[in-house]
Each structure stands twice: as structure tokens, then as C-alpha cells.
Amino acid sequence: MKIQSYLTFLQEGKISDSYIRNVIHEALQFVDVEIKKNDLKDNLHLYKDLGMDHLDVVEMMIQIETIFWIEITDREIKRMKTIGDIVRFIKSHNLTTEDLAKKEKGYKEYERSQPQFDMGEVVDSLLNKRGITKNSLFKLFQKKKKGLKIFRRK
């Protein structure tokens, strides 16, 4: 799912039902549930009508948590069976566009304050601490590779 800032599409004040449905629609697409936005009705059942399993629902809720900056517990996820349940749950948080803007701004500042790592340097450091050189690791890999049938040429 393209997690993007929807704030540019919203006006000041409460978050609208259509905005919530747009987010739900994108979260459904993230878990490969194909449905048109216009077909998202309140009584649409996640499991029966959309064919989702529990893992799909959890992944979708994680996307919703990310967009709305809310926490959804496992108990709450189990209670949400329809699109309407999700919409009502999000609306129960009384979020405003200002709330979302503040949280997103705070996260961006936090993210900028975190140290940046070069994964190559991290791996080199871990190998060096254990006395392993890249060359010895490569040789070990080559030995293991010879024993695996999937790597053998026919």
C-alpha cells in the first residue's frame, strides 16, 4: 500500500466517512482484496463476503493503524466483522485532520533524529567481531552450495 499523506486531500475538521472508506479501500488492496470503492458498504462482511482470513484482517488493520495513528488491539480486531464496524471504530477516536497532521509532523521529526546506518557497515562490523572475513564467509558458502542439488547445473 502506498502509505502517503492524505492530509493534502482533507479539509480542517473531522475526518469524513469518505476519507475513512478511501483508507479502508487502500488497506484492502494491500492485502490483495479486489473491490471497487463504490462497493464498500457497511454491511459487507470481511470474512464471508470478501473472503479474508484472520491474517489478512490483521495486516489490513496494521495499515489502518499507520494511517490514522491509532492502536487497534487483537480483541478489537476480533470484534470488527464488517466494513461498518471498522468505520465506526475509527470514528469513535474523534480524530481531526489537525490531530493527524501533528502526529505525522512529530513522527517525521523523530525519524530525522534517528541515526542512519549503512547495512554493509553493520554486517562488516558483526563479521569482524566474530573474526569472520568476507573471503572466509564466501568460501563457506561455496562449500555449502556444492552440497545442494538446487545449485547444481545439469
d(CA 145, CA 139): 10
Could you say which of 17, 39, 42, 53 is catalytic?
53
Short-list 70, 107, 74, 61, CA closest to 92: 70
Angle (CA) 64-66-67 rounded to 5° is 65
Cβ-contact 61, 81 below 8 angstroms = no
d(CA 79, CA 130): 48
Residue with cell 470484534: 79
The reply to whether 118 belongs to the active site is no
Q: Which ranges constitute the DSSP H helices of the chain?
A: 17-30, 54-68, 74-79, 83-91, 97-113, 119-129, 134-146
**DSSP 8-state assignment for residue 15:** P
- Positions annotated as catalytic residues are 53
